[in-house]
Structure 1
Amino acid sequence: MPRTKSDPRARRSRTNALAAATELLAEGGPGHITYAAVAARAKVGRATVYRHWPDLEALLLDTLTSAVHPMFTLGHGPFRDELVTHMQQQADWLNQPVSASVIATVMGRAERDPDMRGLRDDVFGRAGEHLTDALAAAVARGELRAGIEEHTEDLASRIFGPLLFLRLMLGAQPDGETVADTVDAALAAWQPNA
Protein backbone atom coordinates (compact mmCIF):
# COMPACT_ATOMS: atom_id res chain seq x y z
CA MET A 1 0.00 0.00 0.00
CA PRO A 2 1.57 3.35 -1.04
CA ARG A 3 2.12 6.01 1.57
CA THR A 4 0.12 9.21 1.27
CA LYS A 5 0.90 12.72 2.45
CA SER A 6 -1.31 12.07 5.47
CA ASP A 7 0.78 9.06 6.50
CA PRO A 8 2.70 10.08 9.64
CA ARG A 9 5.74 8.02 8.58
CA ALA A 10 5.90 9.84 5.23
CA ARG A 11 5.56 13.24 6.94
CA ARG A 12 8.26 12.31 9.44
CA SER A 13 10.70 11.09 6.77
CA ARG A 14 10.07 14.26 4.72
CA THR A 15 10.63 16.48 7.76
CA ASN A 16 13.84 14.63 8.66
CA ALA A 17 15.11 14.83 5.08
CA LEU A 18 14.44 18.59 4.92
CA ALA A 19 16.25 19.11 8.22
CA ALA A 20 19.19 17.08 6.92
CA ALA A 21 19.26 19.06 3.67
CA THR A 22 19.19 22.33 5.62
CA GLU A 23 22.17 21.20 7.71
CA LEU A 24 24.06 20.19 4.56
CA LEU A 25 23.29 23.55 2.97
CA ALA A 26 24.69 25.36 6.00
CA GLU A 27 27.80 23.20 6.06
CA GLY A 28 28.77 23.39 2.42
CA GLY A 29 26.26 25.17 0.23
CA PRO A 30 23.89 23.73 -2.36
CA GLY A 31 26.52 21.37 -3.82
CA HIS A 32 26.42 19.34 -0.61
CA ILE A 33 22.75 18.49 -1.06
CA THR A 34 22.75 15.09 -2.76
CA TYR A 35 20.32 12.21 -2.45
CA ALA A 36 22.96 10.05 -0.77
CA ALA A 37 24.05 12.75 1.70
CA VAL A 38 20.49 13.67 2.65
CA ALA A 39 19.48 10.02 3.08
CA ALA A 40 22.52 9.28 5.25
CA ARG A 41 22.05 12.37 7.42
CA ALA A 42 18.28 11.82 7.81
CA LYS A 43 18.77 8.09 8.44
CA VAL A 44 16.28 7.16 5.72
CA GLY A 45 16.68 5.18 2.54
CA ARG A 46 17.76 6.95 -0.63
CA ALA A 47 14.55 5.70 -2.29
CA THR A 48 12.56 7.58 0.36
CA VAL A 49 14.28 10.84 -0.58
CA TYR A 50 13.65 10.13 -4.29
CA ARG A 51 9.99 9.45 -3.53
CA HIS A 52 9.56 12.87 -1.90
CA TRP A 53 11.66 14.74 -4.48
CA PRO A 54 11.98 13.14 -7.93
CA ASP A 55 14.61 15.71 -8.89
CA LEU A 56 17.37 17.35 -6.90
CA GLU A 57 16.35 20.91 -7.81
CA ALA A 58 12.94 20.32 -6.19
CA LEU A 59 14.71 19.17 -3.01
CA LEU A 60 16.93 22.27 -3.03
CA LEU A 61 13.93 24.55 -3.61
CA ASP A 62 11.97 22.96 -0.76
CA THR A 63 15.03 23.21 1.49
CA LEU A 64 15.43 26.89 0.75
CA THR A 65 11.71 27.57 1.13
CA SER A 66 11.62 25.89 4.53
CA ALA A 67 14.71 27.80 5.69
CA VAL A 68 13.56 31.29 4.64
CA HIS A 69 12.60 33.55 7.52
CA PRO A 70 9.47 35.74 7.08
CA MET A 71 10.26 39.45 6.78
CA PHE A 72 8.48 42.55 8.04
CA THR A 73 5.65 40.77 9.82
CA LEU A 74 4.80 43.49 12.30
CA GLY A 75 1.91 43.96 14.69
CA HIS A 76 0.04 47.15 15.48
CA GLY A 77 2.11 48.54 18.33
CA PRO A 78 4.53 51.47 18.17
CA PHE A 79 6.06 51.10 14.69
CA ARG A 80 9.67 51.97 15.48
CA ASP A 81 9.82 49.65 18.51
CA GLU A 82 8.21 46.76 16.66
CA LEU A 83 10.47 47.29 13.66
CA VAL A 84 13.61 47.28 15.83
CA THR A 85 12.46 44.08 17.58
CA HIS A 86 11.61 42.43 14.27
CA MET A 87 14.88 43.46 12.64
CA GLN A 88 16.79 42.14 15.66
CA GLN A 89 15.07 38.79 15.07
CA GLN A 90 16.09 39.06 11.40
CA ALA A 91 19.66 39.81 12.44
CA ASP A 92 19.65 36.82 14.81
CA TRP A 93 18.47 34.66 11.89
CA LEU A 94 21.11 36.18 9.60
CA ASN A 95 23.77 35.35 12.17
CA GLN A 96 23.06 31.62 11.81
CA PRO A 97 25.31 29.77 9.32
CA VAL A 98 22.42 28.40 7.26
CA SER A 99 21.04 31.89 6.60
CA ALA A 100 24.03 33.08 4.61
CA SER A 101 23.85 29.92 2.50
CA VAL A 102 20.12 30.34 1.93
CA ILE A 103 20.36 33.98 0.89
CA ALA A 104 23.44 33.47 -1.29
CA THR A 105 21.86 30.47 -3.03
CA VAL A 106 18.53 32.15 -3.70
CA MET A 107 20.12 35.39 -4.92
CA GLY A 108 22.73 33.64 -7.05
CA ARG A 109 20.33 31.25 -8.73
CA ALA A 110 17.43 33.69 -9.11
CA GLU A 111 19.16 35.27 -12.12
CA ARG A 112 18.88 32.10 -14.21
CA ASP A 113 16.35 29.82 -12.48
CA PRO A 114 12.66 30.79 -12.65
CA ASP A 115 11.80 28.72 -9.55
CA MET A 116 14.44 30.53 -7.48
CA ARG A 117 13.33 33.85 -8.93
CA GLY A 118 9.77 32.95 -7.87
CA LEU A 119 10.96 32.14 -4.35
CA ARG A 120 12.89 35.43 -4.15
CA ASP A 121 9.97 37.45 -5.50
CA ASP A 122 7.51 35.70 -3.22
CA VAL A 123 9.59 36.29 -0.08
CA PHE A 124 10.38 39.92 -0.84
CA GLY A 125 6.99 40.63 -2.39
CA ARG A 126 5.16 39.48 0.72
CA ALA A 127 7.66 41.40 2.85
CA GLY A 128 6.86 44.58 0.92
CA GLU A 129 3.13 44.08 1.39
CA HIS A 130 3.56 43.51 5.13
CA LEU A 131 5.75 46.59 5.47
CA THR A 132 3.39 48.79 3.43
CA ASP A 133 0.47 47.77 5.66
CA ALA A 134 2.48 48.47 8.82
CA LEU A 135 3.61 51.86 7.46
CA ALA A 136 0.01 52.85 6.63
CA ALA A 137 -1.04 51.94 10.17
CA ALA A 138 1.87 53.97 11.61
CA VAL A 139 0.87 56.98 9.50
CA ALA A 140 -2.74 56.65 10.68
CA ARG A 141 -1.52 56.65 14.30
CA GLY A 142 0.57 59.78 13.65
CA GLU A 143 3.92 58.03 14.18
CA LEU A 144 5.22 58.73 10.66
CA ARG A 145 4.51 61.32 7.95
CA ALA A 146 2.09 60.51 5.16
CA GLY A 147 3.64 59.36 1.91
CA ILE A 148 6.12 56.91 3.41
CA GLU A 149 3.95 54.01 2.18
CA GLU A 150 4.92 54.97 -1.39
CA HIS A 151 8.60 54.41 -0.50
CA THR A 152 8.36 50.91 0.96
CA GLU A 153 11.10 49.37 -1.23
CA ASP A 154 13.50 52.22 -0.52
CA LEU A 155 12.84 52.00 3.21
CA ALA A 156 13.27 48.22 3.22
CA SER A 157 16.59 48.50 1.39
CA ARG A 158 17.81 51.19 3.82
CA ILE A 159 17.00 48.91 6.74
CA PHE A 160 17.75 45.41 5.52
CA GLY A 161 20.50 46.31 3.04
CA PRO A 162 23.11 47.42 5.59
CA LEU A 163 22.43 44.37 7.77
CA LEU A 164 22.84 42.05 4.77
CA PHE A 165 26.05 43.84 3.76
CA LEU A 166 27.50 43.54 7.25
CA ARG A 167 26.66 39.84 7.48
CA LEU A 168 27.30 38.59 3.95
CA MET A 169 30.08 40.86 2.72
CA LEU A 170 31.97 41.69 5.90
CA GLY A 171 31.19 38.56 7.92
CA ALA A 172 30.12 40.70 10.89
CA GLN A 173 27.17 39.80 13.07
CA PRO A 174 24.87 42.80 13.50
CA ASP A 175 24.04 43.45 17.15
CA GLY A 176 21.12 45.24 18.80
CA GLU A 177 22.74 48.67 18.71
CA THR A 178 23.55 48.35 15.01
CA VAL A 179 19.99 47.26 14.26
CA ALA A 180 18.44 50.16 16.22
CA ASP A 181 20.80 52.70 14.61
CA THR A 182 19.98 51.36 11.14
CA VAL A 183 16.22 51.56 11.73
CA ASP A 184 16.48 55.06 13.21
CA ALA A 185 18.57 56.32 10.27
CA ALA A 186 16.06 54.92 7.77
CA LEU A 187 13.06 56.45 9.58
CA ALA A 188 14.65 59.84 10.38
CA ALA A 189 13.30 61.66 7.31
CA TRP A 190 9.77 60.36 7.95
CA GLN A 191 9.36 61.45 11.56
CA PRO A 192 6.36 63.78 12.04
CA ASN A 193 8.60 66.66 13.12
CA ALA A 194 11.28 66.12 10.43
Structure 2
Amino acid sequence: MSRANDDPRARRSRTSALAAATELLAEGGPGHITHAAVAARANVGRATVYRHWPDLRALLLDTLTTAAHPVLTLGHGPVRDELVTHLQQQTDWLNQPVSASLIATVMERAERDPDVRNLRDEMVSRAGEHLTDALAAAVARGELRAGIEEHTRDLVSRILGPLLFQRLMLGTPPDGVTVADTVDAALAAWQPNT
Protein backbone atom coordinates (compact mmCIF):
# COMPACT_ATOMS: atom_id res chain seq x y z
CA MET A 1 0.00 0.00 0.00
CA SER A 2 1.42 3.40 -0.91
CA ARG A 3 2.01 6.06 1.69
CA ALA A 4 -0.34 9.05 1.76
CA ASN A 5 2.52 11.33 0.63
CA ASP A 6 2.92 9.24 -2.54
CA ASP A 7 -0.78 9.32 -3.39
CA PRO A 8 -1.39 11.85 -6.21
CA ARG A 9 -4.80 12.72 -4.74
CA ALA A 10 -3.20 13.52 -1.39
CA ARG A 11 -0.57 15.70 -3.08
CA ARG A 12 -3.27 17.54 -5.05
CA SER A 13 -5.43 18.13 -1.97
CA ARG A 14 -2.41 19.34 -0.01
CA THR A 15 -1.40 21.73 -2.81
CA SER A 16 -4.97 23.04 -3.08
CA ALA A 17 -5.20 23.51 0.68
CA LEU A 18 -1.89 25.41 0.84
CA ALA A 19 -2.97 27.67 -2.02
CA ALA A 20 -6.24 28.34 -0.19
CA ALA A 21 -4.40 29.04 3.08
CA THR A 22 -2.09 31.47 1.27
CA GLU A 23 -5.09 33.33 -0.15
CA LEU A 24 -6.68 33.50 3.31
CA LEU A 25 -3.42 34.80 4.77
CA ALA A 26 -3.32 37.56 2.14
CA GLU A 27 -6.96 38.49 2.68
CA GLY A 28 -7.06 38.66 6.43
CA GLY A 29 -3.85 37.56 8.09
CA PRO A 30 -3.15 34.43 10.11
CA GLY A 31 -6.44 34.65 12.02
CA HIS A 32 -8.31 33.78 8.83
CA ILE A 33 -6.50 30.46 8.47
CA THR A 34 -8.62 27.74 10.05
CA HIS A 35 -9.14 24.15 9.05
CA ALA A 36 -12.75 24.89 8.10
CA ALA A 37 -11.91 28.01 6.08
CA VAL A 38 -9.09 26.27 4.21
CA ALA A 39 -11.31 23.26 3.46
CA ALA A 40 -14.10 25.47 2.14
CA ARG A 41 -11.75 27.58 0.01
CA ALA A 42 -9.88 24.55 -1.37
CA ASN A 43 -13.12 22.64 -1.96
CA VAL A 44 -11.87 19.65 0.04
CA GLY A 45 -13.23 18.01 3.14
CA ARG A 46 -12.30 19.35 6.55
CA ALA A 47 -11.03 15.87 7.48
CA THR A 48 -8.61 16.09 4.54
CA VAL A 49 -7.14 19.31 5.90
CA TYR A 50 -6.88 17.78 9.38
CA ARG A 51 -5.18 14.72 7.92
CA HIS A 52 -2.47 16.91 6.38
CA TRP A 53 -2.19 19.25 9.38
CA PRO A 54 -3.54 17.86 12.66
CA ASP A 55 -3.04 21.21 14.36
CA LEU A 56 -3.51 24.78 13.23
CA ARG A 57 0.07 25.78 14.07
CA ALA A 58 1.43 23.21 11.58
CA LEU A 59 -0.95 24.49 8.91
CA LEU A 60 0.15 28.10 9.46
CA LEU A 61 3.84 27.15 9.46
CA ASP A 62 3.49 25.21 6.20
CA THR A 63 1.58 28.13 4.68
CA LEU A 64 4.33 30.56 5.66
CA THR A 65 7.05 28.23 4.41
CA THR A 66 5.30 27.68 1.08
CA ALA A 67 4.55 31.37 0.55
CA ALA A 68 8.06 32.54 1.48
CA HIS A 69 9.87 34.04 -1.47
CA PRO A 70 13.61 33.63 -2.00
CA VAL A 71 15.52 36.68 -0.82
CA LEU A 72 18.58 38.05 -2.61
CA THR A 73 19.44 35.22 -4.96
CA LEU A 74 21.85 36.87 -7.37
CA GLY A 75 23.49 35.92 -10.65
CA HIS A 76 27.12 36.42 -11.61
CA GLY A 77 27.05 39.90 -13.14
CA PRO A 78 28.15 43.19 -11.55
CA VAL A 79 26.85 43.08 -7.98
CA ARG A 80 25.18 46.50 -8.08
CA ASP A 81 23.27 45.65 -11.25
CA GLU A 82 22.36 42.19 -9.92
CA LEU A 83 21.04 43.68 -6.68
CA VAL A 84 18.97 46.33 -8.43
CA THR A 85 17.53 43.86 -10.95
CA HIS A 86 16.73 41.23 -8.33
CA LEU A 87 15.25 43.71 -5.87
CA GLN A 88 13.08 45.27 -8.56
CA GLN A 89 11.73 41.77 -9.21
CA GLN A 90 11.33 41.28 -5.45
CA THR A 91 9.29 44.47 -5.19
CA ASP A 92 6.76 42.95 -7.58
CA TRP A 93 6.32 40.16 -5.02
CA LEU A 94 6.57 42.56 -2.07
CA ASN A 95 3.80 44.73 -3.49
CA GLN A 96 1.32 41.82 -3.44
CA PRO A 97 -1.02 41.59 -0.43
CA VAL A 98 0.15 38.07 0.46
CA SER A 99 3.70 39.36 0.88
CA ALA A 100 2.80 41.99 3.43
CA SER A 101 0.74 39.42 5.35
CA LEU A 102 3.53 36.86 5.17
CA ILE A 103 6.25 39.24 6.35
CA ALA A 104 4.10 40.71 9.11
CA THR A 105 3.10 37.24 10.31
CA VAL A 106 6.67 35.96 10.34
CA MET A 107 7.85 39.06 12.23
CA GLU A 108 5.07 38.82 14.80
CA ARG A 109 5.06 35.05 15.31
CA ALA A 110 8.86 34.70 15.41
CA GLU A 111 8.83 36.43 18.79
CA ARG A 112 6.88 33.53 20.37
CA ASP A 113 7.12 30.51 18.10
CA PRO A 114 10.50 28.79 17.72
CA ASP A 115 9.49 27.14 14.42
CA VAL A 116 8.55 30.48 12.87
CA ARG A 117 11.73 32.01 14.32
CA ASN A 118 13.67 29.22 12.60
CA LEU A 119 11.85 29.99 9.34
CA ARG A 120 12.74 33.68 9.68
CA ASP A 121 16.35 32.87 10.50
CA GLU A 122 16.56 30.48 7.56
CA MET A 123 15.20 33.17 5.20
CA VAL A 124 17.76 35.69 6.47
CA SER A 125 20.54 33.12 6.43
CA ARG A 126 19.84 32.12 2.82
CA ALA A 127 19.88 35.78 1.81
CA GLY A 128 23.16 36.28 3.62
CA GLU A 129 24.83 33.25 2.04
CA HIS A 130 23.85 34.23 -1.49
CA LEU A 131 24.89 37.83 -0.95
CA THR A 132 28.21 36.89 0.68
CA ASP A 133 29.13 34.81 -2.36
CA ALA A 134 28.14 37.65 -4.72
CA LEU A 135 30.08 40.18 -2.67
CA ALA A 136 33.21 38.01 -2.67
CA ALA A 137 32.99 37.76 -6.46
CA ALA A 138 32.51 41.55 -6.69
CA VAL A 139 35.63 42.10 -4.57
CA ALA A 140 37.59 39.72 -6.81
CA ARG A 141 36.43 41.71 -9.86
CA GLY A 142 37.46 44.99 -8.22
CA GLU A 143 33.88 46.35 -7.96
CA LEU A 144 33.98 46.64 -4.16
CA ARG A 145 36.63 46.92 -1.45
CA ALA A 146 37.76 43.82 0.44
CA GLY A 147 36.10 43.22 3.78
CA ILE A 148 32.53 43.84 2.68
CA GLU A 149 31.84 40.10 2.84
CA GLU A 150 32.20 40.29 6.63
CA HIS A 151 29.39 42.87 6.76
CA THR A 152 26.76 40.99 4.78
CA ARG A 153 24.11 41.10 7.50
CA ASP A 154 24.52 44.86 7.87
CA LEU A 155 24.33 45.30 4.11
CA VAL A 156 21.12 43.22 3.94
CA SER A 157 19.54 45.41 6.62
CA ARG A 158 20.63 48.60 4.82
CA ILE A 159 19.07 47.38 1.59
CA LEU A 160 15.97 45.49 2.70
CA GLY A 161 15.22 47.60 5.77
CA PRO A 162 14.19 50.77 3.93
CA LEU A 163 12.23 48.83 1.30
CA LEU A 164 10.32 46.84 3.90
CA PHE A 165 9.70 49.95 6.01
CA GLN A 166 8.32 51.81 3.01
CA ARG A 167 6.04 48.90 2.05
CA LEU A 168 4.90 47.71 5.48
CA MET A 169 4.89 50.86 7.60
CA LEU A 170 4.22 53.60 5.06
CA GLY A 171 2.06 51.47 2.79
CA THR A 172 3.86 52.77 -0.29
CA PRO A 173 5.09 50.21 -2.81
CA PRO A 174 8.80 50.75 -3.56
CA ASP A 175 9.49 51.64 -7.17
CA GLY A 176 12.55 51.12 -9.36
CA VAL A 177 14.13 54.48 -8.48
CA THR A 178 13.78 53.79 -4.76
CA VAL A 179 15.33 50.35 -5.19
CA ALA A 180 18.32 51.70 -7.16
CA ASP A 181 18.86 54.57 -4.70
CA THR A 182 18.71 52.18 -1.74
CA VAL A 183 21.26 49.80 -3.29
CA ASP A 184 23.58 52.68 -4.22
CA ALA A 185 23.40 54.12 -0.68
CA ALA A 186 24.17 50.73 0.88
CA LEU A 187 27.15 50.07 -1.41
CA ALA A 188 28.57 53.62 -1.37
CA ALA A 189 30.94 53.08 1.55
CA TRP A 190 32.42 50.02 -0.14
CA GLN A 191 33.22 51.51 -3.53
CA PRO A 192 36.93 51.04 -4.37
CA ASN A 193 37.57 54.78 -4.78
CA THR A 194 36.19 55.86 -1.36
User: How far, CA to CA, are the matches of 2:4 and 2:178 in structure 1?
Assistant: 48
- The structure 1 segments of at least 4 consecutive aligned residues displaced by more than 6 Å after TM superposition are none
Q: Secondary structure at the match of 2:6?
A: coil
CA contact 1:3–1:10 (8 Å) conserved in 2: no
Q: Which amino acid aligns with 1:65?
A: T
Structure 2 residue aligned with 1:122: 122
User: How far, CA to CA, are the matches of 1:177 and 1:92 in structure 2?
Assistant: 14
Q: Secondary structure at the match of 2:173?
A: coil
User: How far, CA to CA, are the matches of 1:77 and 1:185 in structure 2?
Assistant: 19
Structure 2 residue aligned with 1:179: 179
| Residues 173 and 85 (structure 1), Cα distance of their counterparts in 2 relative to 1, 3 Å cut | same
Q: TM-score scaled to structure 1, two decimals?
A: 0.98
User: How far, CA to CA, are the matches of 1:112 and 1:188 in structure 2?
Assistant: 37
Shift of 1:60: 0.2
User: How far, CA to CA, are the matches of 2:116 and 2:20 in structure 1?
Assistant: 20
Shift of 1:54: 0.7
Shift of 1:125: 1.0
Q: Secondary structure at the match of 1:5?
A: helix
User: What CA RMSD, in Å, does the superposition of the two structures yield over aligned residues?
Assistant: 1.0
User: How far, CA to CA, are the matches of 1:25 and 1:166 in structure 2?
Assistant: 21
Shift of 1:2: 7.0
Structure 2 residue aligned with 1:51: 51
> Where do 5+ consecutive residues of structure 2 fail to align?
none
Structure 1 residue aligned with 2:32: 32
User: How far, CA to CA, are the matches of 1:3 and 1:130 in structure 2?
Assistant: 36
Q: Any idea what the Cα deviations from partners look like across 1:127-150, whole Å, max 9, x if unmatched?
A: 111111110011011111101111
Structure 2 residue aligned with 1:162: 162
1:113 pairs with 2:113: yes
Q: Secondary structure at the match of 1:13?
A: helix
Q: Any idea what the Cα deviations from partners look like across 1:153-179, whole Å, max 9, x if unmatched?
A: 111111000000000000000011110
Structure 2 residue aligned with 1:79: 79
User: How far, CA to CA, are the matches of 1:169 and 1:138 in structure 2?
Assistant: 32
Q: Any idea what the Cα deviations from partners look like across 1:11-50, whole Å, max 9, x if unmatched?
A: 1000000000000000000000001100000000000000
Q: Secondary structure at the match of 2:93?
A: helix
Identity in percent: 84
Structure 2 residue aligned with 1:131: 131
Q: TM-score scaled to structure 2, two decimals?
A: 0.98
User: How far, CA to CA, are the matches of 2:132 and 2:74 in structure 1?
Assistant: 10
